[in-house]
Structure 1
Amino acid sequence: MKVLDLEEIQTAEQILRRHLPKSSKVHGYLIGLSRNKPSTYEVVVDAWPDFTCVILRPDQQNPNVSYYQRKVTLFCTETGLQVLKRMIAEEEAIDWSAHFMIGGLDMSLAPMVKEVAASKGVNVRYYTLVQLVVLSDPRDLPQLTDNRLESRISSLTESHIDLVNKTWKFGGDEKGYNIVKNLIRNFPSYCIVDDSNQPVSWMLLYDYCALGLLYTMPEHRGKGYAKTLITHMSKQLHAQGYPVYCFIEEDNAASLRLFRSLGFTEHPSYRVAWFEFNY
């Protein structure tokens, strides 16, 4: 195994573009790392430069690891499954003694990962199944016609961390607060403000560069705020060289319809899930 340095991460990011969409989440993380975004991860590959597997895992030398949820992310090529199994089962690429989550795990890898976990006596809890939607061409986005609404688009600031954390489905605690703080500080985010300049609808970018945390205050729904934010943010991200994609929970038909209406397309045969270990 090899831990990649920044220059090698930048090279790996380019290589992983060839493996989209299945490399989407690992590729997204590497984009952030390539841009020197703060991170608590280290990137491990089976070989260099001709790797078949990539693992993102907590960097134990990083003093900030304890402030965030311990997460692992995996990717392997079609020929790398047995290599990945060896890395996580025999070569200690994952610390199975610790509590952690594997986020965005390709469901085709799930049976192997659960088999290894069982062999080590580690319990596993399934969280959520999601599908990937991608905007391939920003020209597919609709033109925004409400100039008054566009004039109310702003960026989130650190004064909004608590508001976002309290309304985030997976937030509400200290770790959620730290995650939101990192995203607002270091990644693009946009909101629509009311007459008092307070956010009433917002969207952030996860540290794996996917659109997320989209939320509109209940009393402001049905006014096209989500559509406006997705369209505006997607155009800005594309102009800044970010991929434009999102994970949508399998049962969230309303969100899927919304993103489809804005030119996003899904990959129906590709599903990923979140799993928790040693819970």
Structure 2
Amino acid sequence: MLVLNCSTKLLILEKMLKSHFPESLKVFGAVMNINRGNPFQKEVVLDSWPDFKAVITRRRKEAETDNLDHYTNAYAVFYKDALAYRQLIEDHDVINWDQVFQIQGLQNELYDASKAVADPKQLTTKLTSFMAVHFSPVSSPPDTHFLTESPPRLTYLSVADADLLNRTWSRGGNEQCLRYIANLISCFPSVCVRDDKGNPVSWALTDQFATMCHGYTLPDHRRKGYSRLVALTLARKLQSRGFPSQGNVLDDNKASISLLNSVGAEFLPCRFHRLILTPAAFSGLTQ
């Protein structure tokens, strides 16, 4: 195991990961954030350098953690060899197996390789698989002709909005998610439409892997074109900073799939896999 701390080597790694798109997108996004101030206190672990076969981004060990917070306790994975990845996580110092955590990646062997190491340690492994998408370049501000009402107030999210986002996110509704969303809002780009009273009615934010997430419009404000405006504006904001504008969508989310098709988003050939791993001691305590 090797922790890559050298800023020069991290910039080299960022460039190397580009040649492995789209499978390396999650790790690439995390490494980009590390190289641009590291607001989420991440670090990179590899099996070797520079000819690595497996690379993982993780939370720094000195960072404050909550053992039930799988949102923050998240690892992104890319490997050239699934066996090398499995051997890397078998090293006890790479992953904290004593807390609830998640693993994210865009490679099909990720679940089997992770589960093979987790099972003997008596952790349950829950897999959710998504379609992975990438937004085409957005070279100019989105046209607002498609809006059904007068142009709205377009701005960004505030930490004060975290409670609303926690209550409306299908993955949320708990203390850990509330804290995680507040951290995302503080650290990364977001976009939202506000009503006349200043309340958010439609929004999207960016996670620790530079992924566009939690795109949502309140029911009373749907079919007005807000979701399209928010998605394109956030994609353009990320692209202007050099980030890939990537996202994920569940196969049965017809509304989001229709929106993505309408804006010309590319559905990638690989799928996004999110694994949530729970030690036996915490079984039944998490969502």
TM over 0.5: yes
The C-alpha deviation readout for 1:60-91, integer Å capped at 9, x for no partner, is: 222x22284322222101xx222212112246
The equivalent of 2:2 in structure 1 is 2
The answer to whether the 8 Å contact 2:56/2:77 transfers is: yes
1:199 alignment partner in structure 2: 200
Change (3 A) 1:150 1:27: farther
CA drift at 1:139: 5.1
Instruction: Give 1:105 deviation, angstroms.
Output: 5.7
CA contact (8 A) 1:126 1:276 kept: yes
Whether 2:271 is the aligned partner of 1:270: answer: yes
The one-letter code of the counterpart of 1:185 is S
- Contact 1:105–1:274 (CA<8 Å) still a contact in 2? no
The aligned amino acid for 1:84 is Y
Q: Distance in 2 between matches of 1:84 and 1:107?
A: 13
- Counterpart CA distance in 2 for 1:86 and 1:48 is 16
Match of 1:73 among 76, 93, 109: 76
Structure 1 stretches of 4+ moved >6 Å = none
Relative to structure 2, which stretch is displaced further, 190-199 or 97-106? 97-106
Contact 2:31–2:57 (CA under 8 A) maintained in structure 1: no
Residues 149 and 259 (structure 1), Cα distance of their counterparts in 2 relative to 1, 3 Å cut: farther
Amino acid at match of 1:98: Q
Q: TM-score, normalised by structure 2?
A: 0.87
Residue number in structure 2 paired with 1:53: 54
Change (3 A) 1:20 1:75: same
Deviation at 1:180, TM superposition (A): 0.9
What SS does structure 2 have at the residue aligned with 1:66?
A: coil
Q: Given residue 57 of structure 1, which amino acid in structure 2 is its aligned partner?
A: R
> Which deviations, in whole Å up to 9, do the C-alpha atoms of 1:37-77 show, x marking residues without a partner?
32243210111122121112332222x22284322222101
- In the aligned structure 1, how far is the partner of 2:25 from the partner of 2:94? 21
**Displacement after TM superposition at 1:163 (Å):** 1.4
Q: Which runs of 5+ in 1 are unaligned?
A: none
Q: Answer yes or no: is 1:225 the counterpart of 2:249.
A: no
Match of 1:181 in 2: 182
Give the superposition deviation at 1:238. 1.3
Specify the alignment match of 2:237 in structure 1: 236
Which ranges of structure 2 fall in alignment gaps of 5 or more residues? Answer: none
Q: 1-side partners of 2:192 and 2:277: how far apart?
A: 31
Alignment TM-score, normalising by the size of structure 1? 0.89
Deviations 1:81-112 (A, max 9, x none): 22212112246422334332223463322212
Residue identity in the other structure for 1:135? F
Q: Which residue of 2 aligns with 1:143?
A: 143
Q: Which moved more, 1:198-207 or 1:108-117?
A: 108-117
RMSD between superposed Cα atoms in Å: 2.3
Q: CA deviation at 1:124?
A: 2.1
Q: What is the count of residue pairs matched by the alignment?
A: 275
Identity %: 30
